[in-house]
Amino acid sequence: MIKLMRYSQLYTKTTKNVPADADSANARYLEQGGFIHREMAGVYSYLPLGLRVLRKIDNIIREEMNAIGGQEILMPALSPKENWMKTGRWDGLDVLFKLPAAGGKEYALGATHEEVVTPLVQDHVFSYKDLPMSVYQIQTKFRNELRAKSGILRGREFGMKDLYSFDKTEEELDEFYEKAKVAYTNVFKRVGFKPEDTYLTFASGGTFSKYSHEYQIAAGVGEDLIYTCDKCVVAVNKEIIEDQDSCPECGNKNLTEKNGIEVGNIFKLKTKYSEPFGFKFTDEDGTTKPVIMGCYGIGNTRLMGSLVEVFHDERGIIWPKNVSPYFVHLIVVKGDENAEKEAEKLYKDLEKEGIEVFFDDRDERPGAKFADADLMGMPLRLVVSKRTLESDSVEWKLRPEAEGENVPLKDVVKKVKALYKED
């Protein structure tokens, strides 16, 4: 990824106008900040700054999926109707887009990929020696939602990381499932959510398992209701609380209702998809057995939206460091030759240290530049002006803070480096 960007070169502009249809903080601030562009309800483009955030999220997810042995692949959006007829989801999945094609054919437009990944893996995996294994992709999904809402939280076209595990036995699946939990916890922590707000939430397991699990971020703005256990940092969702009034982990009946945003889910599919495709393996003793499957989803675009829902104030976004498009938002107050020279020098000095810098070098008044910095939400704002240079310093302000402080010009690069490396 390119480390540097001059605002004068970036084609997008912020706007003070709140989009008329913005029903959520993410729809509002991501559009106003020039991160995304609404094509139609539930369908967005990712503009240069937004795509950077998305790619940073993707890379974190990718590293954690690789760490648990996931092999990255890329499946298509189009798939044959037959596959969906086999599992009953051609008619059973109401959000499935059905696409009429040349030659009188019909394709499904992938809303999820069990119907594609199962026969795909079946073509290479035959024996107990080939198992356990898992594959994942970061790819675009399509859902024919009657009503899309909440910006990039619930769309008709959205990005998703979907991992599928293949095991010999339910015990092996249980083992991988626990590993996936750890990877998921890592992802949510690394993108910036507080571990104490990230709830492993018990949800319905469908026909094959007692429970599946959602990851819910407790946040006032969340659309879901969850019931959290204060003893073991787990929660149950609304569906489960209607059947039982205690924590499934420790039996604690003292549950607290909170708002939550779902950011991921994991599910033991067992033989739900391997059976209809006849996906079996030959075990060590020569017998054939159905492969045991699990699926593990994180919506990368939804995660980006959720971060904005949790991390914003009335002035704009407050990006966590690991997913911010750039680390430093450097502002020069124009009109003073020396300030312009020193700002250019600082920009280059930070570049040498490998710091990602967004440089507002435009001919704009300072107030507009400060408002943009607040709206765009990068972690550290540095201002170089005639006034700061009078005390040989730079104004240093972390995004959530109201007031900046002066830092000596000679120390600023070292101080930025230290903050950049801090956990």
Q: Is the dihedral of CA 122, 125, 128, 134 positive or negative?
A: negative
Cβ contacts of 12 within 8 Å, gap of 6 or more? 34, 47, 48, 49
Under the binding rule (CB under 8 A), the answer on residue 84 touching a copy of itself is: no
Closest CA to 112 of 285, 335, 307, 269: 269
- For a copy of itself, the binding residue among 3, 21, 71, 250 (CB under 8 A) is 71
Residue 361: CB minimum distance to a copy of itself, A: 14
Under the binding rule (CB under 8 A), the answer on residue 109 touching a copy of itself is: yes
- For a copy of itself, the binding residue among 43, 407, 413, 419 (CB under 8 A) is 43
Under the binding rule (CB under 8 A), the answer on residue 368 touching a copy of itself is: no
In contact, 313 and 307? CB cutoff 8 Å: no
Closest to a copy of itself by CB, 27 vs 109, is 109
Q: Element (H or E) spanning 199, and its range?
A: strand 198-204
DSSP 3-state of 54: helix
In contact, 166 and 133? CB cutoff 8 Å: yes
User: What's the length of the chain?
Assistant: 423
In contact, 277 and 86? CB cutoff 8 Å: yes
Closest to a copy of itself by CB, 100 vs 354, is 100
Tell me the two tokens of residue 30. Answer: 């991501």
Closest to a copy of itself by CB, 284 vs 423, is 284
Under the binding rule (CB under 8 A), the answer on residue 121 touching a copy of itself is: yes
Query: Which residues are registered as beta bridge partners of 200?
Result: 215, 234
CA angle 352, 357, 360 (to 5 degrees): 125
Under the binding rule (CB under 8 A), the answer on residue 144 touching a copy of itself is: yes
How many Å apart are CA 312 and CA 307, to the nearest integer? Answer: 8
- For a copy of itself, the binding residue among 23, 39, 257, 392 (CB under 8 A) is 39
Residue 187: CB minimum distance to a copy of itself, A: 18
Closest to a copy of itself by CB, 2 vs 20, is 2
Secondary structure (DSSP) of 246-281: S-TTT----EEEEEEEEEEEEEEEETTTTTTTT-EE
Q: Hey, which bits of 102-185 come out as E strands? A: 105-109, 133-142, 157-167
- For a copy of itself, the binding residue among 20, 146, 354, 390 (CB under 8 A) is 146
Helix axes 48-67, 170-191, angle to 10 degrees: 140
Residue 80: CB minimum distance to a copy of itself, A: 5
Residue 397: CB minimum distance to a copy of itself, A: 27
Under the binding rule (CB under 8 A), the answer on residue 78 touching a copy of itself is: yes
Closest to a copy of itself by CB, 155 vs 379, is 155
Binding mask 245-274 for a copy of itself (x = CB under 8 A): ------------------------------
Residue 334: CB minimum distance to a copy of itself, A: 15
Residue 45: CB minimum distance to a copy of itself, A: 5
Under the binding rule (CB under 8 A), the answer on residue 133 touching a copy of itself is: yes
Q: How many residues bind a copy of itself (CB under 8 A)?
A: 54
In contact, 127 and 281? CB cutoff 8 Å: yes
Query: Residue 335 carries which DSSP code?
Result: T
Piece of the chain touching a copy of itself by CB under 8 A; list 48-56, 226-234, 249-257, 385-393: 48-56
Closest to a copy of itself by CB, 117 vs 318, is 117
Tell me the two tokens of residue 249. Answer: 């982990």
Under the binding rule (CB under 8 A), the answer on residue 77 touching a copy of itself is: yes
Under the binding rule (CB under 8 A), the answer on residue 300 touching a copy of itself is: no
Q: Which residues of this chain interact with a copy of itself, rule CB under 8 A? A: 2, 9-13, 34, 37, 39-40, 43-48, 51, 54, 66, 69, 71-80, 97-103, 109, 116, 120-121, 123-125, 130, 133, 135, 140, 142, 144-146, 156-157
